[in-house]
Structure 1
Amino acid sequence: MDSSIENFVGRSIPGDMAKRAQNRRSVALVAATSLGLAGGYTALFAGTTGVFLLPIAQSLDIGRGTAASCMALASLGLAVSSPVAGRLMDRYGYQRVIGVSIICFVIGLLLLAAGPLTTTALGIKAFLLGLLGVATSPVGYLPILAYAFERRVGLAFGIASIGAGIGAALAPLFTGWMIRHYDWQTAYLLLAAIAAVIGFVAHMMLRRIPTQARNADASANAKSPNSLTGDTPKTAFTNPRFWLIGLCVALIAAVGLGSIVHVPALLSDNGVSPEMAAAGAAFSAIGLTMGRFLVGLLLDLIPARVLASTVFLLGGCGVALLGSATHETPYLQLALGAMLTGMLIGAEGDLVPFFVKRYFGLKNFGAIYGVLISLFCLGTMFGPALYGLAFDRFHSYNLVMVTAGIVCVACALGILMIGAYRYPDPHQAARA
């Protein structure tokens, strides 16, 4: 643009009006990503897996471990495709990748409700849903905010992730009601319809955001690569910090999702009614929502490694509450345990992109974030399966819950070893 025109435009729009316009774009961006997460993989599939676990196991006449393993193949698909999705978004921008992924996610939910009812078919369909629906998860939506925000990026993550938390809180209740009154296949059909509507609205909202906000990530990488600082993927992957973060992320993901998926079954084993057991999954989702919002709010105020350590210890307390439950345990205590373990997954949703931005920079954010999310997904894949296999072997969740508590404490200590930020907020540095 000609400089005289730029000067004219700059003078014709008062500073406060320009600031309000930018604020409106920021609010629209956060709202669109929040809505997208509410209708995506995390809320509608991962958030409801625990409610579907027992009906699917009974329908196919298989054990909980086998059913959980089949459903967990969705996490394997997510792990495989996350680095690829990250690179595609770095190169082409997020809008195209998310649009295609929404369509694939809806088709994946429809396939779960149709076709042959065998363990092999279930596993293949779950794998394809995770593989192709990857960008409807935080993998697709949170990088948008990482590029668009510098100050208050943690708050932006937290607010946007509320959508996933609300979706994950309401979806189990709705799904449980549908399964009780109809069947689990019908429940998946309706979830597919919900995903299609919400995904379409979120995608249209992203399209209508002004170009400079909507394409911040694509233009920054494709047009001005030198304007962003950060490690190359090779440098990041040879940094011990990366693998320490990745190990903690994977282990905590295994504990968090393993507990969330098996909470309804654990509560049923303790004599809780099916309605209240489904509500247990909703309490986990409430904890997930609280974790995302509170951690996002505090990330701008407290060093991420300290905050992560605190959350991991609180999650360990939640695991202890669930693991020590008996038939006489008050339901509120079980609900608190479910909420604290749900916080583990919610907190990691904000912590992982924040770790990437502050420890490895933005220049290759998508590629580095994608690999960390792959490790996260491997944890979410093995966690529910191991919980189920432990129950099938020992007819109790006691041993696996004790192990999970020990893992939480070990990760709380390990994450403190990553040290100070390597790419701090320049605004905070200037104020210092």
Structure 2
Amino acid sequence: MIEHDISGRRPLGLPIAWWVALGTAIGLSVGFSAVASTVFGQFVTPLSQAFGWSRGETTLAVAFANIPLLLMAPLFGVLIDRMGAWRTLCVSQVAVPLILMSLATLQGSLTQLYISFFLLALFGAGTLPAAYTRIILTWFDRRRGLGFGIALSGVGLASLVLPPISQALIGAFGWRMAIVSIGVLFLLVGGLNVATLLRIRPQGPHEIDAGAASGSHPAIDPLSGIPWRKALRTMTYWTIALAFVPLGAASMGLLVNLPSILADRGFSPLAAASGVSILGATLIFARLVTGWLLDNVSTMYVVAVIFAAPALGFFLLADSHTAGITAFAIFLIAFGIGAEFDVMAFLLSRLFGPISYGGLYGGVYAAYNIGVAVGPAYLATRFDASGTYDLALAVFAVLFLLSGAVLTIVARRVPGAAGAA
């Protein structure tokens, strides 16, 4: 018994901290973020064809989802700080799949579509990254970057797995049954995950960082850091928040419209879904690599590279329509998109600490979603007006360059050569 207390729990030989990190990744893969960034994109073309909607009208649903997020993301963040992440997940992890399944009842009303997405954000905000990264703060200090990387790779996991499943279901049973099937999958997987892995808490310091480091871990003390009222009076916080507005427009603008972009360039629906899966695999790779780099390399250098890569990718995607260049451009874009939430979580946790992390993260996430409300519809309406996505993609490249430069400057304030507190 004493040996167990010292070494910590190791189910199947793996330290319990890694199991919890895996649970956070699974949660993100079946939550609101997965619906908005991956699942809905697979249904834009079928819905547009079924009801005669334009792509701009259909993708505008994402904007209606982001209206309540401007309030709900900070509100759920504060609730996470006060009540714990698990309690908010219990509500939202059930709400997301139920509202998703309700889309199967659509009969051609755009109003119903928009209201459904409004409700999806209103009740599903508890499954946003704030909850899962807050759980990571409980388990990781010196390996925090990697912990964030594992958790946030859940969105990449969704992009890797769900597009082929969605296309197969649509092809075999139609879009209505496909939506219901995915909703049931989310309900079963998400519910089981919340009831098991995400309820676990550390038994002692020996389980922090998967047992890799000994001694105290003051950085995970839930009462350490800067309270949100004081943080909101700093220029650093507002600089981070404003920098993520254009990133939201460019990132989600591409993710929602990527299946349509690939289809217009001659890819079959299945090939387009495979292209989104490649993006998902890159998201996972980027978030894991970035997490490790944030733990071991100067934060400023990591941030600079992370946002330069997608800027180049957007320029390439706008300029070339060949399959090879398109694939390479998607890889570069996905690398930056995959890493931007690692950077958000890491900067906020290191600069402001855990005490108000949920609320502060929710505020920056709300700022990000101001851009999200604009990006997908902007890209789709530019296509409706001109028949091409190229100019809008070049605009997205410039947005990544500007935000990357601002966040690189902020990253210089992270303590320590490797960004360790």
2:176 aligned residue = 185
1:305: how far off? 3.5
Secondary structure of residue in 1 paired with 2:8:
helix
Residues 75 and 92 of structure 1, relative CA distance in 2, 3 Å threshold: same
Cα separation, 1, equivalents of 2:118 and 2:184: 20
1:242 aligned residue = 237
Cα separation, 2, equivalents of 1:426 and 1:413: 19
1:373 aligned residue = 365
Tell me the TM-score normalized by structure 1. 0.87
1:3 aligned residue = none
2:282 aligned residue = 287
In 1, are the aligned partners of 2:295 and 2:420 still within 8 Å (CA)? no
Matched, 1:18 2:22: no
- 1:40-78 deviation line (CA, Å, top 9, x unaligned): 222344212222111112222121111111233223333
2:254 aligned residue = 259
Matched, 1:341 2:319: no
- Unaligned runs of 5+ residues in structure 2 are 209-219
2:39 aligned residue = 48
Residues 21 and 381 of structure 1, relative CA distance in 2, 3 Å threshold: same
**1:339 aligned partner, one-letter code:** F
Tell me the TM-score normalized by structure 2. 0.89
**1:74 aligned partner, one-letter code:** A
Residues 424 and 260 of structure 1, relative CA distance in 2, 3 Å threshold: same
Q: 1:151 aligns with which of 137, 142, 149?
A: 142
In 2, are the aligned partners of 1:316 and 1:406 still within 8 Å (CA)? yes
Residues 207 and 256 of structure 1, relative CA distance in 2, 3 Å threshold: closer
1:425: how far off? 10
Cα separation, 1, equivalents of 2:191 and 2:318: 41
Secondary structure of residue in 1 paired with 2:59:
helix
1:420: how far off? 3.0
Secondary structure of residue in 2 paired with 1:255:
helix
1:352 aligned residue = 344
Cα separation, 2, equivalents of 1:155 and 1:28: 13
Matched, 1:139 2:134: no
Structure 1 window deviating more from structure 2 (374-383 vs 42-51): it is: 42-51
In 1, are the aligned partners of 2:139 and 2:202 still within 8 Å (CA)? no
Structure 1 window deviating more from structure 2 (130-139 vs 36-45): it is: 36-45
Cα separation, 1, equivalents of 2:130 and 2:201: 22
Secondary structure of residue in 1 paired with 2:9:
helix
In 2, are the aligned partners of 1:257 and 1:383 still within 8 Å (CA)? yes
In 1, are the aligned partners of 2:347 and 2:411 still within 8 Å (CA)? no
1:199 aligned residue = 190
**Bigger CA radius of gyration:** 1
1:346: how far off? 1.6
**2:329 aligned partner, one-letter code:** G
Residues 428 and 207 of structure 1, relative CA distance in 2, 3 Å threshold: closer
1:109: how far off? 0.8
Residues 427 and 165 of structure 1, relative CA distance in 2, 3 Å threshold: closer
Cα separation, 2, equivalents of 1:232 and 1:337: 41
- 1:239-272 deviation line (CA, Å, top 9, x unaligned): 2222221122221121112112222211222222
1:364: how far off? 0.9
1:299 aligned residue = 294
Map 1:24-423 → 2, pairs under 5 A: 24-206=15-197, 209-210=200-201, 212=203, 228-326=223-321, 329=322, 331-421=323-413
Cα separation, 2, equivalents of 1:40 and 1:140: 11
2:215 aligned residue = none
Cα separation, 2, equivalents of 1:146 and 1:414: 25
Residues 59 and 428 of structure 1, relative CA distance in 2, 3 Å threshold: closer
Structure 1 window deviating more from structure 2 (308-317 vs 42-51): it is: 42-51
- Unaligned runs of 5+ residues in structure 1 are 1-11, 217-224
Structure 1 window deviating more from structure 2 (100-109 vs 33-42): it is: 33-42
Q: CA RMSD in A?
A: 2.6
In 1, are the aligned partners of 2:222 and 2:354 still within 8 Å (CA)? no
1:130: how far off? 1.8
1:280: how far off? 1.9
Cα separation, 1, equivalents of 2:403 and 2:177: 40
In 2, are the aligned partners of 1:309 and 1:411 still within 8 Å (CA)? no
1:97: how far off? 0.7
**2:142 aligned partner, one-letter code:** R
Structure 1 window deviating more from structure 2 (285-294 vs 413-422): it is: 413-422
Structure 1 window deviating more from structure 2 (382-391 vs 155-164): it is: 155-164
Cα separation, 2, equivalents of 1:242 and 1:172: 36
**1:13 aligned partner, one-letter code:** I
Aligned residues: 405
Cα separation, 2, equivalents of 1:412 and 1:44: 26
In 2, are the aligned partners of 1:44 and 1:171 still within 8 Å (CA)? no
**2:378 aligned partner, one-letter code:** L
Secondary structure of residue in 2 paired with 1:356:
helix
Q: Identity rate of aligned residues, in percent? A: 27
In 2, are the aligned partners of 1:42 and 1:168 still within 8 Å (CA)? no
Structure 1 window deviating more from structure 2 (178-187 vs 311-320): it is: 178-187
Cα separation, 2, equivalents of 1:394 and 1:305: 39
- 1:106-139 deviation line (CA, Å, top 9, x unaligned): 2111112224431111011011112211222312
**1:376 aligned partner, one-letter code:** Y
1:230: how far off? 2.0
- 1:373-431 deviation line (CA, Å, top 9, x unaligned): 111222222111111121122221111011111112222222222153456699956xx
In 1, are the aligned partners of 2:131 and 2:358 still within 8 Å (CA)? no
- 1:259-316 deviation line (CA, Å, top 9, x unaligned): 1222221122222222212222222222222221111111101233432221111001
Cα separation, 2, equivalents of 1:207 and 1:337: 36
**1:18 aligned partner, one-letter code:** I
Cα separation, 1, equivalents of 2:221 and 2:294: 27
Residues 376 and 117 of structure 1, relative CA distance in 2, 3 Å threshold: same
